[in-house]
Amino acid sequence: MFNAITHSQIYVLDQDEALDFYVGKLGLEVAADVNLGFMRWLAVSVPGHPERQILLEKPGAPAMSEETAEQVRELVTKGAMGGWLILTTPDCRKTYETLLAQGVEFTEEPTERPYGIDCGLRDPFGNRLRFTQPAA
Amino acid sequence: MSRAAEETNRRMLRARDAMDRDYARPLDVPALARIAHVSEAHFTRTFRATFGETPHRYLQRRRVERAMFLLRETDRSVTDICFDVGFGSPGTFSRTFRDIVGRSPRAYRKEAVATGVPTCFTMAWTRPSD
């Protein structure tokens, strides 16, 4: 019936800051950055894989009331919004060292798991990210 | 006003992440307040307002959750697990565990079943509620 996941979304509080982090630090690519007037459609993807994009959406009017947007922002900053991303890497420890040197905020150091070497971090807003070097 | 609240949330989340990561270390209010960049006087109150429980209670529940994990997934002795997760004495561990889980660590181990899902999920979802 379905054959691919093409877009996912997470909330970010500032799209320029999100670009600095997701592209500048994590090394993702801008898949789309379009000012639609009513909102900025900003999506990133893993280099070379534009078929799978993550929309970095800023909560706000007119999609939601300012009051609701404030609640969403509050949940993001409390780490309660979801915003789960799991990426893969060929070398978890090396990626960890690289990102640590850039001041990325880690919640968990590289840890051996049955499924591979796994690591946890937060984006500047409170979203949780993980990356895994899958077990061979 | 709201921007300030968001920054406070983020600071409290940083302290909570430290508890999730370093639960086995002696984490006290001064140490956590330093991580959150707030005064000790404000830390406990602000943390509670943000997450609905005191930092002490959060840390205890995290330690008990990790103990439940080790009881389920490993053969380590109850005494070893007590120290592994940051309790200072087996007496305090058993009492806290029973208060939170409603059973002793040994009774829990007999009934528990390994889950087989990624650890980050069990860590978030199996933390015992009040």
Contact at CB, B21 and A70, closer than 8 angstroms: no
CA distance B34 to B46: 14
Residue B87 is predicted with a pLDDT of 96
Mean pLDDT of B36-48: 94
Distant-in-sequence, close-in-space partners of A48: CB < 8 Å, separation ≥ 6: A29
What pLDDT digit, counting tens, does each position of A68-103 carry? Answer: 999 999 999 999 987 789 999 999 999 999 999 999
Which residues does chain A have within 8 Å of residue B6's beta carbon, measured at their own beta carbons? 13, 73-74, 77
The answer on pLDDT for B2 being more than 90 is: no
Residues A19, A42 contacting (CB under 8 angstroms) = yes
Instruction: Say what the pTM is.
Output: 0.86
The answer on pLDDT for B83 being more than 60 is: yes
Residues A121, A99 contacting (CB under 8 angstroms) = yes
Task: Select the residue from B17, B19, B119 to test the A interface by mutation, using most A Cβ atoms within 10 A.
Answer: B17
Mean pLDDT of A1-23: 97
Q: Does A73 contact B at CB distance below 8 Å? A: yes
Name the minimum distance, in Å, from the CA of A132 to any CA of chain B: 11
Distant-in-sequence, close-in-space partners of A44: CB < 8 Å, separation ≥ 6: A22, A23, A28, A29, A30, A31, A53, A54, A56
The answer on pLDDT for B1 being more than 90 is: no
Contact at CB, B9 and A77, closer than 8 angstroms: yes
Q: Where are the beta strands (DSSP E) in A20-63?
A: 29-35, 40-45, 53-57
Query: How many Cβ atoms sit within 10 Å of the Cβ of residue A45?
Result: 19
Which residues does chain A have within 8 Å of residue B16's beta carbon, measured at their own beta carbons? 79
**Closest alpha carbon to A25 in A94, A91, A79, A95:** A95
Instruction: Please state, for a pLDDT cut of 90, what percent of chain B lies above it.
Output: 76
